[in-house]
Amino acid sequence: MERSEELFEKITGRTTILIGDVFLNETIQGDMERWTNENPIPVVQMLHNNYLPGAAAYAAVLLRQLGLQVKLVTVTGDDFAGRQLLQILADHAIDTSGVIVDAEYITSQRSTINVAGIRYAEREIMRLQTPEPLPLSEEKFEKIMDYLEENIPDTDAIIFIDKDESVVSRKLVEAVQKTAQKYSIKLIGDSEKNCVFFNNFTAVTPNVHEAQAALNGRKDHSSKLGKQLRSLLKCDTVFMTLGGEGISVINEARDVCHVAAKPRLVGDTDGAGEAVVAGVTAGLLAGLPPEQTADLANTMAALAVSRKGFTCITRKEIIEAQLRYALEMNVEKHVTIEQLQSLVARARLDGKKIVWTNGCYDILHAGHVIYLEKAKALGDVLVVGLNSDASVRKNKGPLRPVVEENQRARVLSALSCVDYVIIFDDESPLAMIDALRPDVYVKGGDYNIETINQGERRLVESYGGEIALLPGVEGMSTSEVIRRILEAYSK
C-alpha cells in the first residue's frame, strides 16, 4: 500500500461537500450506589457529560482530520444540541455556511447513561434519543440547492450520509447529481435505508443488511449481493462492509475482491460506517486502487471501533496503525528505512528480538531458504537487507544480477520466515544496521568472525549485539545454479 504520509500529501487541501443528517451524541458518566425507596429505580449521581458529533457531523470531523476541506450541508435547531454541534464543528475548522439553523427544528440528540459502582465495572444502563426529524421542507430544499449550485464548481467530492431521511432524499440526490455532472466530481453515498438513491455514483458503502434492503430483502452470499447491487445502481465501485470480516470491493475491473479487516479490540461499533466513508473518500481523492482504498477504510474503521464513542482519528494514529497492522499481519514486507525503524521500534516494545541478515539472493534456491529459516529461528522478526542491482554489479560483475531487485524482493517477501525486506545501494549496509541496531546479526556461507565485514562487526559489538555465523549448504549456490543451467543449455 502507498505510504500514508504520501497519501495525505495528495489530499491535503482538497475540497469536499458533505450532505446529511447530524446528531449530538451525549455520554453521561455517573455513580450508582442505591435504588429509590419507592420503586426499583437506580439513583445515578452525575459526574460529567461528554458531547461528540454523530452521523454526517462525525464524518466531517474525520475528513477534516485527514487534511481535507469540508463544507457541511445539514439542518439543525436553534437549541442547546444544535449550538453544541456547531461549536464542535467550528473547533475543527469545518465550514458550516451550508448549515440551516431553524428555530422550530429540534436537533437530533442521542444520550447514553453509563454508571459504575463499588461492586461492578462501568456499564451502560439507558439510551435516550429525540424523535426522528421531519423531512426537508420545500423552502429548505431550495436553500440547500442555492448553496450547492454556488459551491459545487470548486468541489472535488460530494458525500451523502443518510441516517434518518431528514436531509437526504431522492429529489435532492438527483438535483445535486445533475449539477455535479457538469464537473469532474466524485460522488460517494452511504444510507441506512435508501442506497437505491445513489445511481451512477463513484462509490457506495453499504453494509450487508443495507444491500439486502436495497435488493428487496434478498438474502445471498455477500459477493453476489455486491454484484447485484452494483448492477442495480450502475455505480463504479461498491465497498460492502462485512463487520469484523472486512470489506468486499465490487467493480468492473476486479469483479469481487475481499479486503480483510484489521485486528482490533472492539470498544463499540459507533462511527464505524462514517469512518469507512471517510477512508473511501480519501482513497478515491488520492487516486488509490479500490483494494488500497478499502484497506485504508478498514484501518479507520478499526480505529473507530477500538474506543468508545465518536472520537477523532488523527493522521498520526492512521500512520502508526498501518505500520502496526503490517507487523501483526506480515503484509507490506518490502519497506523503506523510515517504515522499518517504526516497525522495529514497535516490535521491541512488544519484547520481540530483531534479526538482521543481508545478501544478493539472486535466483533464490533451497540453500537460501534453509539459511533464512535458520536465521529466523534466532529471534522473532527477520529483516533481510537486499543488495540493489547496482550493488550486486559492484560485488559480482556486470553480468549479475540475473533477477532484477524488485523481483528479488518480491520473491523473498513470499517466504513465511522473512518479515521485512529492504534494498540498499552501498557496498555495505552499515548505515542501515546502525539505524536499526538488530539484536542478532547473521552471516552465512564460508564467513568466519575474521572474514566478515569488520566495520559491521565493530558496530554490532559496540552496542552489544549478537553475531551468528550460519554455514551454507554444500553444492547450493546461485553460481552453481547458473553453472548447471549453462551446462544443460549449451549442449
Q: How many domains does the chain have?
A: 2
3-state SS assignment for residue 183: coil
Contact 212, 225 (CB under 8 A): yes
Same domain, 75 and 24: yes
CA angle, 165 as apex, 220 and 69 as ends, to 5°?
A: 100
Kindly list the strands in the beta sheet with 15-20, ordered across the sheet, starting from the edge strand earlier in the chain: 95-102, 69-77, 15-20, 157-162, 186-191, 203-204, 237-241, 247-251, 255-259
* Mean pLDDT by groups of 10 residues along the chain of 491 residues: 73 96 94 83 87 96 97 97 97 97 94 81 86 91 97 97 94 96 94 94 95 85 85 95 88 77 67 95 94 92 82 87 64 80 82 93 88 93 94 86 89 91 93 95 88 95 95 71 79 63
Same domain, 185 and 207: yes
Same domain, 292 and 413: no
Of 295, 329, 363, which marks where a domain is finished?
A: 329
Same domain, 96 and 78: yes
Nearest one of 211, 219, 287, 293 to 14, comparing CA atoms: 287
Its pTM stands at 0.67
3-state SS assignment for residue 222: helix
Same domain, 40 and 105: yes
Same domain, 277 and 351: no
Same domain, 307 and 441: no
Residues 305, 272: Cα–Cα separation, whole Å: 6
Contact 47, 186 (CB under 8 A): no
Containing structural domain, residue 69:
4-329
* Residue reference for cell 463487520: 243
Same domain, 361 and 269: no
* Residue reference for cell 530483531: 354
DSSP classification of residue 334: B
Residues 145, 166: Cα–Cα separation, whole Å: 15
Instruction: Quickly list DSSP for 444-479.
Output: EET--TTTS-HHHHHHHHHTT-EEEEEEPPTT--HH
Residues 342, 359: Cα–Cα separation, whole Å: 23
Q: Is 376 exposed, middle or buried (0-12, 13-18, 19+ CB in 10 A)?
A: buried
Same domain, 405 and 292: no
- pLDDT at residue number 32: 81
3-state secondary structure 16-83: EEEEECEEEEEEEEEEEEEECCCCCCEEEEEEEEEEEEEEHHHHHHHHHHCCCEEEEEEEEECCHHHH
Which sign does the torsion angle of CA 484, 485, 488, 490 carry? Answer: negative
* Residue reference for cell 496503525: 321
Residues 347, 258: Cα–Cα separation, whole Å: 28
Contact 395, 360 (CB under 8 A): yes
3-state SS assignment for residue 396: helix
Same domain, 288 and 372: no
DSSP classification of residue 154: G
Angle between helices 4-11 and 315-329 (to 10 degrees): 150
Residues 225, 308: Cα–Cα separation, whole Å: 31
Can you give the CATH number for the domain in which 297 is found?
3.40.1190.20
- pLDDT at residue number 6: 80
Specify the length of the chain in residues: 491
3-state SS assignment for residue 114: strand
Of 307, 329, 351, which marks where a domain is finished?
A: 329
DSSP classification of residue 400: -
Sequence-separated (6 or more) residues with CB below 8 Å from residue 45: 30, 31, 32, 33
Same domain, 312 and 348: no
Cell numbers linked to 61: 470531523
- pLDDT at residue number 89: 97
| The amino acid at 155 | T
Contact 107, 77 (CB under 8 A): yes
Same domain, 21 and 110: yes
Backbone angles phi, psi at 74, to 5 degrees: -160, -170
| The amino acid at 313 | I
Cell numbers linked to 14: 482538497
Contact 296, 279 (CB under 8 A): yes
Can you give the CATH number for the domain in which 375 is found?
3.40.50.620
Instruction: Quickly list DSSP for 189-216.
Output: EEESS-GGG-TT-SEE--BHHHHHHHTT
Contact 130, 109 (CB under 8 A): yes
Sequence-separated (6 or more) residues with CB below 8 Å from residue 41: 35
Backbone angles phi, psi at 318, to 5 degrees: -65, -45
Of 306, 329, 352, which marks where a domain is finished?
A: 329
Alpha-carbon Rg for the chain in angstroms: 28
